[in-house]
């Protein structure tokens, strides 16, 4: 060995070699626990004479032993034969051999079995380095099954993992995206009184910040402080950023106070984070405070500071302040800040001040800075939001002189054109992308498919989907979701389901959004069994529902009349670990009221408020409408007043529900006062509200007021619908103003409002009421021509009218047709027909109908018996007359008895 190599130190797998010219000493040193010295530390010293042939025999022996053991361990499954082979190879494994094997193995389960076998064979506990080697292997192989057990053993032995091992374990979990496991690992170490490494904490806190887990981060942060670790400004910045982005301002401010109490000074990065995050959370004044505070502390705002503050002000619609700050930034500045220009251009665009945005582009050019593609994309995005397509295309052509359009540019244009329904132009832009050397990506296709579905151009969306080259541009979950929802909303639920199956076949697992769409659209099409089937499939696929899905499913179930199923779904929300929100309660209340369980709603409503649900306008409207429909109008009125106090202005839906509820219980003066109140507050009342008042006034015979409201409705430019006209016609008929009703009917047709079956029924009933049977029959025939099916009341009225008018043939034919079509005549209809046939000298037919009436259990009127008896005597049907006479006597006796009572 050369002299210059004397005293060289070599270290290999825990073995330290010290070489001198005359001898080579081997120091096998087992490193002690980082927590302190251990009884297991030992140093084995062996001297070997120099010479190449006999150099480092022990090292070669360890190496050979490690290779032999690893070969045995990798040869097959663990069992008695393997243990025998290991015993033959090394009866009593030495510490350095065990460590070498653990460092070379790849399977943690095999390593653990060997670890236990070696422990039993040597009859002594393993040293810290052996434990650390095992833990490192667990980290590398991402096998944490027995991790807590190993940590507990180490703790009982009086040592813990080395800092490097601790960091490696946490880093391994982080790389595998097993952040919860990493958190639990640190908690296990603390449970066993083991001190986790500083870097293990910071690594995990950094990883948790990217997945927005502020509470776990804060727990780790406080633990670091408890252990006496010195926390720095960077760590505070990481936590403050996450809490501020989550909108948890109080927690973020508390951390800032904690920073000051630790005698740490905020740096410019922290101030920039605070300005950006607090500003985006809507705390603009607080962002301003940080901006001014940093200057007080001697920190000069940089480009990031200015740009963030300008962006916050623009987003808060405080454009004048943003412009002032921008001008202050640009003052005496030779090189413009492109980011600030882009932000200011976006601010002008969002405010619709496009000329100012264009001027700023020119100003940037004059300063020697060519606007980037980002600046133009900002303008195009704002133009797209405003729907100014032509201007967007002009700017697109203009930008080509300064910047090359990128994929985002084309996507913005395609989105803009699809929203405007200009599919052909969008396809042309897509083709021009290819000419520019760019190719549509999945985002491009998603934009086009989504916009086409929303524009109800489903065939075009399907055509685009089918035309996608799945090798170049593979559809993702959003692509499938958009098309499945679009197909379902347009009633093509079977096509939507086939696409869902195609999604499964392609290896993608649908999320809750896809299942929500399928369930909603199947129920909407009246196919509730298929809707239930989809929910069961979701459960079978182990896809977790979200609250929106469960609310939607519950709403569908209630609307389909499955009240008990709806109740169970409300319980399912809690069982799934969700807290029912205001929509959950609203759906339940509305569903129960509709099913006739109005008594339960009051308790549910107060339960919802006790649970801390903050009622929004939609919730108030749902509950108010439910109370009105169940007759609890006073409670509905109270809630309307509560809405005003809580700062929720009542909408047309609110006023409409209460006005309708009051009108239905004849509290018309109160309804009209509320009607006037709504108008005074500028609420745009619709036809439904006017119709409620017309119906209410009409039913109590206040025809003049009903007419005045109809007149006001038309003066407002609203068009009465068929329900409105029917309300007025019904009021006129009940007041026997039949001629006026006919005038209204003609006005209705003049205003292009086609009558429906109810309209004809009202007029037929009214005409029969005033004995204008022939005119009624004309309307009857017109009703039939227009394809409307008369209801039982209309049939009965028309049959009775014809019979009373002496048109017994027509009446009888209509009566038979009514029964043949499944109609069930009532007592009035039967008695009218019996009388008509009797008066027309058709006694035999009248008697047959008399028998049929008795069999049906319908009452026979005294007058009917008298008329029929007379007809039977005239026709010499004495036997039948005797039966009718007996019925007449029984009827008279029962009437006498009831009068006596």
Distance CA 654, CA 365 (A): 55
Interhelix angle 878-900/862-874, rounded to 10 degrees, is 160
> Residues for the chain: how many in total?
901
Q: What is the DSSP string of 312-352?
A: HHHHTT-HHHHHHHHHHHHTT-SS--HHHHHHHHHHHHHTT
Average pLDDT, the chain: 83
pTM of the model as a whole: 0.56
Burial class (CB in 10 A: 0-12, 13-18, 19+), 827: middle
Structure tokens at 898: 């009831």
pLDDT at 46: 36
Structure tokens at 669: 């003066």
Distance CA 741, CA 726 (A): 10
Structure tokens at 337: 């800040």
Whether residue 528 contacts residue 562, with contact meaning beta carbons closer than 8 Å, is answered with yes
The stretches in the chain having pLDDT less than 50 are 1-59, 901
Distance CA 579, CA 575 (A): 9
Residues 167, 171, 175: CA angle, nearest 5 degrees: 175
Task: Name every residue whose Cβ is closer than 8 Å to that of residue 482 and which is 6 or more positions away in sequence.
Answer: 446, 449, 450, 453, 461
Distance CA 734, CA 694 (A): 14
End-to-end alpha carbon distance in the chain: 136
pLDDT at 422: 83
- The helices-and-strands tally (H runs, E runs) of the chain is 48, 4
Structure tokens at 57: 């025999």
pLDDT at 53: 40
To the nearest 10°, the Cα dihedral for 238, 244, 249, 250? Answer: -20
Region of residue 423 (left: phi > 0; alpha: psi -120 to 50; beta: else):
alpha
Distance CA 7, CA 876 (A): 147
pLDDT at 429: 85
pLDDT at 762: 86
Whether residue 588 contacts residue 579, with contact meaning beta carbons closer than 8 Å, is answered with no
Nearest in space to 287 (alpha carbons), one of 249, 237, 242: 249
For residue 463, the number of C-alpha atoms closer than 13 Å in the C-beta half-sphere is 7
pLDDT at 36: 38
């Amino acid at each position: 060995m050369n002299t210059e190599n004397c005293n060289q130190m070599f270290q290999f797998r825990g073995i330290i070699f010290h070489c001198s010219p005359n001898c080579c000493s081997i120091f096998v040193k087992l490193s002690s626990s980082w927590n302190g010295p251990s009884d297991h530390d030992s140093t084995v010293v062996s001297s070997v004479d120099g010479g190449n042939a006999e150099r480092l025999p022990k090292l070669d022996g360890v190496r050979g032993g490690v290779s032999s053991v690893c070969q045995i361990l990798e040869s097959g499954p663990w069992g008695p034969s393997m243990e025998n082979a290991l015993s033959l190879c090394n009866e009593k494994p030495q510490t350095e051999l065990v460590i070498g094997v653990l460092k070379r193995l790849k399977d943690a389960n095999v390593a653990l079995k060997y670890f236990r076998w070696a422990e039993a064979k040597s009859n002594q506990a393993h040293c810290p380095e052996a434990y650390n080697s095992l833990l490192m292997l667990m980290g590398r192989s991402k096998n944490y099954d027995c991790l807590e057990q190993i940590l507990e053993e180490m703790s009982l032995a009086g040592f813990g993992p080395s800092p490097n091992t601790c960091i490696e374990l946490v880093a391994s979990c982080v790389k595998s995206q097993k952040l919860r496991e990493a958190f639990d690992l640190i908690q296990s170490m603390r449970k066993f009184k083991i001190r986790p490494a500083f870097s293990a904490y910071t690594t995990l806190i950094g990883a948790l910040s990217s997945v927005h887990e502020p509470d776990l981060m804060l727990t780790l942060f406080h633990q670091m402080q408890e252990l006496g670790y010195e926390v720095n400004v960077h760590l505070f910045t990481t936590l403050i950023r996450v809490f501020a982005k989550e909108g948890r301002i109080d927690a973020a401010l508390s951390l800032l106070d904690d920073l000051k109490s630790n005698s740490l000074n905020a740096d410019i990065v922290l101030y920039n984070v605070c300005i950006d995050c607090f500003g985006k959370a809507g705390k603009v004044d607080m962002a301003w405070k940080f901006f001014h505070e940093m200057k007080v502390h001697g920190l000069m705002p940089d480009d990031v500071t200015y740009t963030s503050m300008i962006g916050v002000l623009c987003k808060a619609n405080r454009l004048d302040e943003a412009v002032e700050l921008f001008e202050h930034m640009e003052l005496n500045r030779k090189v413009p800040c492109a980011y600030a220009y882009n932000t200011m251009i976006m601010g002008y665009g969002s405010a619709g001040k496009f000329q100012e945005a264009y001027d700023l582009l020119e100003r940037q050019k004059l300063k020697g800075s060519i606007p980037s593609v980002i600046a133009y994309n900002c303008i195009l995005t704002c133009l797209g939001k405003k729907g100014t397509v032509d201007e967007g295309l002009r700017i697109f052509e203009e930008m080509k002189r300064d910047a090359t359009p990128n994929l985002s540019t084309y996507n913005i244009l395609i989105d803009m054109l699809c929203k405007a329904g200009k599919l052909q132009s969008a396809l042309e832009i897509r083709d021009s992308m290819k000419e520019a050397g760019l190719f549509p990506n999945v985002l491009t296709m998603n934009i086009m498919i989504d916009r086409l579905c929303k524009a109800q151009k489903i065939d075009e969306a399907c055509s685009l989907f089918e035309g996608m080259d799945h090798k170049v541009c593979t559809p993702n979950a959003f692509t499938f979701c958009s098309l499945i929802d679009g197909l379902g909303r347009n009633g093509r639920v079977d096509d939507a389901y086939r696409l869902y199956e195609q999604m499964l076949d392609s290896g993608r697992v649908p999320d809750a959004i896809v299942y929500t769409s399928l369930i909603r659209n199947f129920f909407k099409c009246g196919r509730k069994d298929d809707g239930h089937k989809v929910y069961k499939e979701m459960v079978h696929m182990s896809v977790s529902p979200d609250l929106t899905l469960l609310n939607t499913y519950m709403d569908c179930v209630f609307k389909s009349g499955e009240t008990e199923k709806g109740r169970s779904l409300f319980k399912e929300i809690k069982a799934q670990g969700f807290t029912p929100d205001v929509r959950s309660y609203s759906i339940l209340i509305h569903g129960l009221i509709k099913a006739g369980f109005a008594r339960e709603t009051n308790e549910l409503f107060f339960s919802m408020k006790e649970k801390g649900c903050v009622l929004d306008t939609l919730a108030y409207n749902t509950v108010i409408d439910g109370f009105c429909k169940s007759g609890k109008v006073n409670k509905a009125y109270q809630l309307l007043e509560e809405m005003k106090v809580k700062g929720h202005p009542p909408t047309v839906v609110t006023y409409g529900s209460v006005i309708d509820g009051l009108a239905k219980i004849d509290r018309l003066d109160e309804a009209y006062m509320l009607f006037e109140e709504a108008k005074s507050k500028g609420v745009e009342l619709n036809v439904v509200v006017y119709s409620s008042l017309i119906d209410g006034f009409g039913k109590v015979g206040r025809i003049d007021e009903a007419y005045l409201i109809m007149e006001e409705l038309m003066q407002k430019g609203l068009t009465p619908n068929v329900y409105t006209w029917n309300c007025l016609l019904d009021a006129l008929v009940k007041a026997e103003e039949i001629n006026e009703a006919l005038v209204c009917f003609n006005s209705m047709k003049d205003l292009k409002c086609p009558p429906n079956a109810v309209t004809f029924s009202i007029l037929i009933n009214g005409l029969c009421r005033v004995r204008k049977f022939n005119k009624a029959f004309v309307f009857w025939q017109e009703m039939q021509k227009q394809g409307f099916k008369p209801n039982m009341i209309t049939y009965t009225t028309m049959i009775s009218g014809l019979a009373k008018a002496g048109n017994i043939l027509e009446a009888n034919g209509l009566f038979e047709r009514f029964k043949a079509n499944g109609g069930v005549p009532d007592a009035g209809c039967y008695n009218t027909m019996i009388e008509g046939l009797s008066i027309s000298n058709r006694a035999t037919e009248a008697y047959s109908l008399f028998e049929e009436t008795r069999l049906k259990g319908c009452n026979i009127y005294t007058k009917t018996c008298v008329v029929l008896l007379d007809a039977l005597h005239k026709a010499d049907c004495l036997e039948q007359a005797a039966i009718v006479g007996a019925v007449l006597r029984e009827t008279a006796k029962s009437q006498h008895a009831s009068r006596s009572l």
